[in-house]
Structure 1
Amino acid sequence: MLAQQRQQAILDRVQQHGGVRVADLVREFGVSDMTIRRDLEVLADRGLVSKVHGGATTVGAGSTEEPGFAAKSVRQREEKEAIARRAARLVRPGTAVAVSAGTTTWTLAHHLTDVPELTVVTNSIQIADVFYRASRADQTIVLTGGIRTPSDALVGPVAVNAVRALNVDLLLLGVHGMSTRAGFTTPNLMEAETDRAMVGAARRLVVLADHTKWGTVGLSTIARLSDADVLVTDSGLGDEARKQLADEVGELIAVDPDEADE
């Protein structure tokens, strides 16, 4: 394969999944680590990707850009599955949990259908549908209602009032971005308001965010990094980011998508 063909293939993967890792590309294309890094350098110089520690991601979007549910669902699928599997282990039978909208939390919902006697509060049409299709009589689902966003979240005063009337043991929160300056963020102002209401209704906060969310800043802050009792991310997160996050969150869990869950 010529360098130009390989670079186009790498770009296709970045655009499809939102990011790539050098180690994965080395295995896939059978070339050296240095060759892949040169390819990423070429793509970054052309403004087509953003280089990050150990790989590359899509070029940073503006703080108000909000991809739809379908677009986000194809990104970092292996990472999201690993994160969801690990986060599900934090949920105890017979508890009340809130689950925010998002593709990572939607992936998590499939695992939560195996946890008995849950009460699930969600503002996500997609997540409510997962539990509806599971048809478990021992699980209670509360869908907040509200105005629908591009990410299929229900937001606005109806959703906020519904959430504020409740108290849950645990909030499982998906986010658009995270940074030391802005905390956990979303590009949607109304979604941020609903998510903040969920944070206020929960005794514990567990955030689910893959490594590509690091350094991304949405328009509105949901919570500070220090508000998170647990952050579940993946092993693609760089060492410096891990250090900064470990200093802020209660517990940092980084899962390896290549390893089977124990």
Structure 2
Amino acid sequence: MLAAQRRSLILTELGRDGTVRVSDLVSRLGVSDMTVRRDLQTLHRQGLLEKVHGGAMAVAEPSTSEPGFEANSARRQLEKQAIGAQAASLVRPGSAIAVSAGTTTHAFARHLVDVPDLTVVTNSVWVADLLHRSGAESVSVLVTGGLRTPSDALVGPVAITALSSLHVDAVFLGVHGMEERAGFSTPNLLEAETNRAMIRSGRRLVVLTDSSKWGVVGLSSMAHLSDADVLISDTGLSAQASAILAERVGQLVLVDPASPTPSGEA
């Protein structure tokens, strides 16, 4: 198992229970005590967990906390890959879509190179770079421009102006948090405003978010839960969260991280 995969699993366990023990991780991952401790030290330096005696605990993030793209990409990799693959199955050849910034939407973008005659509007530096480097001639990429945030989103008046003149078939939105009252949110005010403009540009809103985002509330809301025509998440969602989302969103699709196919719909 690669180091990135181990660390993603560590963060998944941490997100589930709030704490992890070195001894449990050694058994779960099938690696040495020293390897686990090195992984915990790396994640601690990235600000993704707090090391304690014999293990680690989750870091409570304030509503204004905005992890960088590379730090956030280490989290929930299997879930993001499965969500991205499922979301790509909704994209029809010849369509125009908008893709927001984020690590889950970046995972989704990896599958877009196989969709012919596609036009992608994005405010994500990473998504634009991935599609450019793929060399897929049938994918046209429009980058909004704007100010660059710590999570490598392009935001602000330039991005909003660009989005306000466009009309796309669907918007694929990544979020920092989702909660019953706050809806979908982000810690960055300019990103929230930009994402609202992106949502207005589309006929359909598809939200891509792993289960760890449930209950997380960023500083600024971007949309209500009921604004999502489709929400794709993973089977790690609690029964309570699934019930709330199934009632509010147009369609809830849950994927199994071990498989790219949907494991349940509501």
- State yes or no: 1:13 paired with 2:10: yes
Aligned counterparts of 1:82 and 1:21: Cα–Cα separation in 2: 22
1:157 aligns with 157
Deviation, 1:134, is: 1.4
1:217 aligns with 217
8 Å contact from structure 2 (residues 206, 232) kept in 1: yes
2:27 to 20, 26, 29: 29
Deviation, 1:59, is: 3.6
Aligned counterparts of 1:21 and 1:132: Cα–Cα separation in 2: 39
TM-score by length of structure 2 reads 0.80
Are the structure 2 counterparts of residues 200 and 247 from structure 1 closer, same or farther at C-alpha, using a change threshold of 3 Å? same
- State yes or no: 1:75 paired with 2:72: no
Deviation, 1:144, is: 0.3
Which digits, 9 at most, give the CA deviation of each residue in 1:144-185, with x for residues without a partner? 000000010000000000000100000000000000110000
Q: Which amino acid aligns with 2:87?
A: A
Which digits, 9 at most, give the CA deviation of each residue in 1:44-86, with x for residues without a partner? xxx969xxxxxx9834311000000000000000000000000
| Stretches of structure 2 lacking an aligned partner (at least 5 in a row) | 1-5, 29-48
- State yes or no: 1:111 paired with 2:108: no
Runs of 4+ in 1 over 2 A off after TM superposition: 16-22, 25-30, 56-60, 259-262
Q: Which amino acid aligns with 2:226?
A: S
2:40 aligns with none
Q: Which amino acid aligns with 2:240?
A: E
TM-score by length of structure 1 reads 0.81
Identity of aligned residues (%): 54
Which digits, 9 at most, give the CA deviation of each residue in 1:228-251, with x for residues without a partner? 000000000000000011110000
8 Å contact from structure 1 (residues 18, 212) kept in 2: no
1:104 match: secondary structure: helix
Aligned counterparts of 2:97 and 2:14: Cα–Cα separation in 1: 29
8 Å contact from structure 2 (residues 229, 250) kept in 1: yes
- State yes or no: 1:191 paired with 2:173: no
1:101 aligns with 101
1:35 aligns with none
| Stretches of structure 1 lacking an aligned partner (at least 5 in a row) | 1-8, 31-46, 50-55
8 Å contact from structure 1 (residues 19, 57) kept in 2: no
Q: Which amino acid aligns with 1:151?
A: S
8 Å contact from structure 1 (residues 245, 252) kept in 2: yes
Q: Tell me how many residue pairs correspond in the alignment.
A: 229
8 Å contact from structure 1 (residues 84, 111) kept in 2: yes
8 Å contact from structure 1 (residues 226, 249) kept in 2: yes
